[in-house]
């Protein structure tokens, strides 16, 4: 299985090099697994006759595109997290796209005000709560996480991980840096253990009785339920959607951008418009237990079963602006050294 996948990745790269000069091709550099994209790229090719070549890149995408410069075969970049989207834009590797279709398909809060990136799906950063040890209504806001009743009961991954930095950056955007720093210090005070592992490791810790509340992204619930080894962890918790006081729950996105030196910009725009269409968003979101974002779209039945929530209305570019401050205050409270 593993070697087959590696082979596919290598041949996708070879294909990009071999075919980038032809007009009816479009090349994707993707941080997302190729199997998430396959149903969509197949449908796009069937509809338009344009071939889609995917190079799966899990690290170093920015360095690679910088090194390739004007000769980069990349037309479209697909990635997760506002941190990466903002970093690609900051590195001057994207170009603005003027498209009424994109503006119509993607709500304003999920696209760059300067039109350099567009969201395709989102995920909320929520609390996983022990079904046995946390009652309904005990946690309703992110601010509640500092309540002394949670002393020794919260687990999380590193405060410096992109997911937590975005959450802290959103807290800064809503409440200011001083309040956000106090909040981080309060959560640190309530941690059951030193921050470690990934989001799923925190749910495992709830299952094992080490903590009662974990901070994590919604789609991991779907991933854990699909994994026989992790199913019990998932079944020991339920999802709570905390809100920022007076706002909604923190969400982050997966998104798409047009590469600055795209050799096939027209085909790339068609692909971007296709990927943001409501039908494509539903398929894309479903593949990783995420939420489609276009008006009128619905998540899968499983994702819907976790409950409905109000997403924070803030534009993610506003959140991204506070990332440096978020990292600084996380270091100042020495969050990772419980
Ligand atoms: Fe993740």
- Tell me the mean pLDDT in the region 166-173: 97
- Is there a single domain that holds both residue 80 and residue 179? no
- Is there a single domain that holds both residue 106 and residue 175? no
Give 138's contacts (C-beta < 8 A, 6+ positions apart): 129, 149
The answer to the question of residue 280 being in a domain is yes
The answer to the question of residue 223 being in a domain is yes
User: What digits encode the pLDDT tens for the residues 86-121?
Assistant: 999 999 999 999 999 999 999 999 999 999 999 999
Give 234's contacts (C-beta < 8 A, 6+ positions apart): 203, 221, 224, 225
pTM of structure: 0.88
- What pLDDT score was predicted for residue 36? 83
- Is there a single domain that holds both residue 245 and residue 261? no
Q: Ligand 1 centre and the CA of 266: distance in Å?
A: 31
The answer to the question of residue 307 being in a domain is no
Q: Looking at the predicted structure, is the pLDDT value of residue 302 above 90?
A: yes
- Tell me the mean pLDDT in the region 284-301: 94
The answer to the question of residue 337 being in a domain is no
DSSP conformation class of 142 = S
Q: Ligand 1 centre and the CA of 156: distance in Å?
A: 13
- Is there a single domain that holds both residue 107 and residue 29? yes
> Minimal CA–CA distance to 289: which of 243, 254, 247?
254
- Is there a single domain that holds both residue 98 and residue 239? no
Q: Ligand 1 centre and the CA of 137: distance in Å?
A: 27
Q: Ligand 1 centre and the CA of 234: distance in Å?
A: 16
Q: Ligand 1 centre and the CA of 3: distance in Å?
A: 23
Q: Ligand 1 centre and the CA of 126: distance in Å?
A: 13
Domains identified in the chain, total number: 2
Q: Looking at the predicted structure, is the pLDDT value of residue 180 above 50?
A: yes
- Tell me the mean pLDDT in the region 145-150: 98
- What pLDDT score was predicted for residue 218? 98
Q: Looking at the predicted structure, is the pLDDT value of residue 82 above 60?
A: yes
- Is there a single domain that holds both residue 127 and residue 164? yes
- Which stretch of 16-20, 179-183, 313-317 has the lowest confidence by average pLDDT? 16-20
Q: Ligand 1 centre and the CA of 216: distance in Å?
A: 9
- What pLDDT score was predicted for residue 58? 84
Q: Ligand 1 centre and the CA of 198: distance in Å?
A: 8
- 3-state secondary structure (DSSP) of residue 109: helix
- Is there a single domain that holds both residue 260 and residue 273? yes
Q: Ligand 1 centre and the CA of 120: distance in Å?
A: 15
The answer to the question of residue 271 being in a domain is yes
DSSP conformation class of 112 = -
- What pLDDT score was predicted for residue 12? 47
The answer to the question of residue 181 being in a domain is yes
Q: Ligand 1 centre and the CA of 324: distance in Å?
A: 21
User: What digits encode the pLDDT tens for the residues 201-230?
Assistant: 999 999 999 999 999 999 999 999 999 999
**Position 23 confidence tier, pLDDT thresholds 50, 70, 90:** low
- What pLDDT score was predicted for residue 151? 98
Percent of the chain with pLDDT over 70: 93
- Is there a single domain that holds both residue 57 and residue 184? no
- CA distances to 37, 178, 294 from 280, rounded to whole Å, are 10, 41, 10
Q: Ligand 1 centre and the CA of 263: distance in Å?
A: 30
- Is there a single domain that holds both residue 276 and residue 226? no
Q: Ligand 1 centre and the CA of 85: distance in Å?
A: 15
The answer to the question of residue 304 being in a domain is no
- Is there a single domain that holds both residue 45 and residue 103? yes
- Is there a single domain that holds both residue 39 and residue 89? yes
- Is there a single domain that holds both residue 323 and residue 196? yes
- What pLDDT score was predicted for residue 70? 96
Tally of CB atoms within 10 A around 328? 11
The answer to the question of residue 79 being in a domain is yes
Q: Ligand 1 centre and the CA of 45: distance in Å?
A: 28
User: CATH number for the domain including 240?
Assistant: 3.40.190.10
Q: Ligand 1 centre and the CA of 109: distance in Å?
A: 21
- Tell me the mean pLDDT in the region 153-166: 97
Question: Phi and psi of 144, rounded to 5°?
Answer: -60, -20
Q: Ligand 1 centre and the CA of 70: distance in Å?
A: 31
Q: Ligand 1 centre and the CA of 24: distance in Å?
A: 33
Q: Ligand 1 centre and the CA of 217: distance in Å?
A: 7
Q: Ligand 1 centre and the CA of 115: distance in Å?
A: 25
- What pLDDT score was predicted for residue 11? 43
Which structural domain, as residue segments, surrounds residue 65? 4-122+251-298
**Position 34 confidence tier, pLDDT thresholds 50, 70, 90:** confident
Q: Ligand 1 centre and the CA of 21: distance in Å?
A: 34
**Position 83 confidence tier, pLDDT thresholds 50, 70, 90:** confident
């Amino acid at each position: 299985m593993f070697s087959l996948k590696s082979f596919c990745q290598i041949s996708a790269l070879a294909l990009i090099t071999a075919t980038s000069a032809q007009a009816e091709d479009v090349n994707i550099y993707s941080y997302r697994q190729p199997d998430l994209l396959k149903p969509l790229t197949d449908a796009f090719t069937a509809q338009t006759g344009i071939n889609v070549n995917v190079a799966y890149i899990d690290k170093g995408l920015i360095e690679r595109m910088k090194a390739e410069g004007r000769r980069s075969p990349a037309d479209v970049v697909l990635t997760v997290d506002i941190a990466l989207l903002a970093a690609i834009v900051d590195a001057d590797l994207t170009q603005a796209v003027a498209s009424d279709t994109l503006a119509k398909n993607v709500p304003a809060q999920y696209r760059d005000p300067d039109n350099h990136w567009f969201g395709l799906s989102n995920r909320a950063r929520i609390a996983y709560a022990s079904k046995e040890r946390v009652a309904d209504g005990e946690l309703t806001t992110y601010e509640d996480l500092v309540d002394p009743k949670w002393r020794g009961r919260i687990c999380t991954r590193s405060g410096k991980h992109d997911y937590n930095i975005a959450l802290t950056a959103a807290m800064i955007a809503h409440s200011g840096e001083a309040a956000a720093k106090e909040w981080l210090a309060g959560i640190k005070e309530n941690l059951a253990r030193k921050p470690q592992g990934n989001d799923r490791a925190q749910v495992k810790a709830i299952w094992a009785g080490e903590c009662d509340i974990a901070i994590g992204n919604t789609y991991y619930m779907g991933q854990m339920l699909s994994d026989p080894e992790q199913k019990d962890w998932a079944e020991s918790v339920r999802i709570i959607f905390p809100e920022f006081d007076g706002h909604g729950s923190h969400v982050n996105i997966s998104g798409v951008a047009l590469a600055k030196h795209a050799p096939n910009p027209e085909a790339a725009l068609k692909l971007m418009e296709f990927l943001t269409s409501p039908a494509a968003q539903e398929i894309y979101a479903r593949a990783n237990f995420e939420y489609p974002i276009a008006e009128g779209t619905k998540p899968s039945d499983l994702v819907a079963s976790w409950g409905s929530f109000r997403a924070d209305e803030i534009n993610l570019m506003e959140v991204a602006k506070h990332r440096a401050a978020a990292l600084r205050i996380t270091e100042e409270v020495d969050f990772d050294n419980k």
